[in-house]
Amino acid sequence: MVKSKVCPNRSKAIQEAAADKLHRIERTRLAQECFELDPAYEQNMAEKGLSMEMDEFPEY
């Protein structure tokens, strides 16, 4: 990357590679956590929360 002038020096190339790797790990971790969610439970909780919020709004 330094030879092709994508990065000004090796240190910057290593920093970018490490940041990219961490970003990919976090994205994979998020996908794994989402896979563990129960869609029916999440939908039920969202609907309960929405009905509670509707009660809080003043009548116009």
- pLDDT of res. 2: 60
Q: What are 3-33's pLDDT values in tens digits?
A: 676 778 888 888 988 999 988 888 888 888 8
Task: Yes or no: say if 1 and 13 are a contact pair by the CB < 8 Å rule.
Answer: yes
Q: Which residue did the predictor score with more confidence, 45 or 59?
A: 45
Q: Is 35 a member of any domain?
A: yes
Q: Is 24 a member of any domain?
A: yes
Per residue, the 3-state secondary structure of 17-57, as one string, reads HHHHHHHHHHHHHHHHHHHCCCHHHHHHHHHHHHHHHHHHC
Q: Is 3 a member of any domain?
A: no
Q: Is 38 a member of any domain?
A: yes
What's at 42, amino acid-wise?
E
Name 1's Cβ contacts closer than 8 Å, sequence gap at least 6: 7, 13
Q: Is 46 a member of any domain?
A: yes
Q: Is 41 a member of any domain?
A: yes
Overall domain count for the chain: 1
Q: Is 2 a member of any domain?
A: no
13: how many CB neighbours lie within 10 A of its CB?
14
Structural domain span for residue 48? 10-56
Q: If pLDDT is split at 50, 70 and 90, which confidence band does 38 have?
A: very high
